[in-house]
Amino acid sequence: MAEDAKLLKIYTGQCQCGNVTFKAAGLSDIWYCHCTQCQHLTGHHIAAAGVAKKNFSYTGRVLWSAISKLSQAGHCAHCNSYLFWDKHESQNMSILAGNIDDTSGLVAKGHIFVSEKKDYFEITDGLPQYDTYPPEGTRET
Ligand SMILES: [Zn+2]
Ligand SMILES: [Zn+2]
């Protein structure tokens, strides 16, 4: 598996204060998630890219908070930047896109959990919208 990782593009990132840095080999494209959980965590919705957990590492102190029985959110223990979302049973996790240093090569693919979106704004970017997850999932590689 380490062989695979060598062929994947390496992305780096950090929180606002620099306490946490991370490295990901191979990111999926970016999805906007409008679920209630993301609304509470950020006040709006998130943009996040997916990474295989085995291809991901970080340094610095991350505060992991249980946000449901199924998942946890990772924030910088110092500046509280929202960095990661991790569903325990999944082999992948999400990295909040605003913390990625260089997003070149990544594009926004669409909107998920639109069924839970608040009605104070309209989605007008023309990207695909899904009530929950797209049938093919949010990771295509
Ligand atoms: Zn920080
Ligand atoms: Zn969400």
- 43-78 tens-digit pLDDT: 999 999 999 999 999 999 999 999 989 999 999 999
Q: Is residue 134 part of a domain?
A: no
Q: How far is CA 69 from CA 26, 40, 75, 85, in A?
A: 28, 16, 18, 13
Task: Look up the pTM and report it.
Answer: 0.90
Answer yes or no: is 139 within a domain: no
What is the Å distance from ligand 1's center to 14 Cα?
8
Tell me if 112 sits within 8 A of 134, measured CB to CB: yes
Residue 46 belongs to domain with CATH number:
2.170.150.70
- Cα of first residue to Cα of last residue in the chain, in angstroms, is 14
pLDDT of residue 3: 52
Number of domains in the chain: 1
Residue-wise pLDDT tens digits, 71-127:
999 999 999 999 999 999 999 999 999 999 999 999 999 999 999 999 999 999 999
Q: Listing from the earlier edge strand, what are the strands of the sheet with 21-25? A: 10-14, 21-25, 56-59
**Which residues keep their CB under 5 angstroms from ion ligand 1?**
15, 17, 19, 76, 78-79
